[in-house]
Structure 1
Amino acid sequence: MMRFIFAFLTSIATAGPALAFAADSGMFSDLEYVADTEITAPNGAPLALCHETRDLRLLGLTVSSNIEGYALAMDRCAGDAERSFSQQQMETAQSLNLIDASLPSQPRNGLQRTIQNYGIWVAISLALFAVIIRRVKSLMGLDPASPMRKKATQRIITAMCYMGKCDGIVASSEIFLITKVASRLTRQSVPSTEVVRIADHIDMDLTPQDYLDFGKGLRDSEKDTMMRGAFFVGLASGRIIPAEYDFLRNLAHGIGMPGEDFRRVMNEALEDLDIYQSSL
């Protein structure tokens, strides 16, 4: 991934001389002070030894910096380079005691710069990888912390309202119950007015195709939540009446839920009910 990111960014950055996708983003040449020298400019001003660097910046942040050679410049490398300084020139100047002889004649990235260069790419790669993984998990419904899709939330609320109306009417207490439980199960903000709207438009004369439509396009985890919500509404009254059981059975058949999952989801709904009642 790091190679992909680098290729992508540098291809954009090198599209212009120093102006790629923002005024302070792209590839830039820079100077870094290394040491004073005994060499002077034609006007007699002292020259300093500098590293010539090639930097990749994104919105002003230096992503990587590589030393490309030596140069001489005035004002401790604060201005432009007077001239580049080759390895041969460096060795000659050192032999004449014009430059500190302990400095390497051929400049290269040190350990700290190398770690910084690779470290930021590793950080960017890990951050992008985390974003991609979270996005994939969200799309596949594997992220338990992310809100459910609106389509799934709507179907879950509808199934819970049907369950509530199996006894003839969705009472105000059931409206409150469905609103609170649906919000918790779907991690979406569910207004009670939406529950009332859905409950008011329910037709209990359901066909086999209607039950199939409940699960159409939903993930398995969303179907589980739908059944949990429907079970919860029925169990909240203390018992499941025959009409409610028929709805649950037909709903499970319509969404393709096998018997073992049916029982598992019922047990989860019972646990939900214990949590709900203890919070009151």
Structure 2
Amino acid sequence: MSAPLRLGTRGSPLALAQARWVAARLGGASEIVVVRTEGDRDASRPLAEFPEPGAFTCALQDALRSGQVDLAIHSFKDLPVEEPAGLSILAVPVREDPRDLWISRSGAPWREAPRGARVGTGSPRRVSQLAALREDLAAVPIRGNLDTRLAKMARGEVDALVVAFAGVRRLGLTPAGAVPFPPEEMLGAPGQGALAIEGRADEGDRLGDALRALHDRDAWRCACAERDLLRRMGGGCHLALGALATLDGEAIRLRAAYAVEEGLRRVDVRGATPEDAALAAREALSR
């Protein structure tokens, strides 16, 4: 009888929900191993103050290298733009909703929020796109898991939140006053809504059968286009860049929003491959 697959994950409610989702679809025996990352150990420090890259991934990757775990389950958006030597993304499952979600204490959509409403988000990407929608909204840095953020809003520390819709769905939550942003208004982080199952590069063949049924080629192509754009822009999670890739036949449509000194720059391009789409978007953003 083969040993159970050890799945490494962060210990947040969302990360555990994602790991359980993967375990249920792998078939066979598996064991969830919680690994504390730097981002988890210091939950009060703003993410912008963490050294790049990998505040939420490096400890999991170390656990892979040491043999503590067989696979690491990541939120794709948390991955560094360059894959570390000896490791490989072995599968990307079907993608959850990649949009951002507006949640307000009053139930009002963003257009109807009071002037100067305090919006909980520390993401430069969200801050810049919110400012393009309404300059009067006041972004308030906020950290913690979704329940923590909702509790802070209920206590009146903020009037509204902007969070990833995928996390809300994976946790099975239905917060009142929740409205998804269409891509025309706000674009999520590169890779948002996708999971990445990472393993040791030399074990891809051994684990291939278990992972093949989980892998979604469309999700992989789209997430890779977004990640490659982020790499070409020279950034990580601190870069004020939103991106969303979708399929247009066999081509990849890539929309991006990037904060520059004079405001928000938006582009909408197509490419035959993830790399082609990312290059076209990079060139368009640089004009």
Q: Same fold (TM over 0.5)?
A: no
Bigger Rg over Cα:
1
TM-score (norm 2): 0.20
Higher helix content, 1 or 2: 1
Hey, which of these two has a bigger chunk of strand by percent? 2
Task: With a CA cutoff of 8 Å and minimum separation of 6, indicate the structure with the bigger relative contact order.
Answer: 2
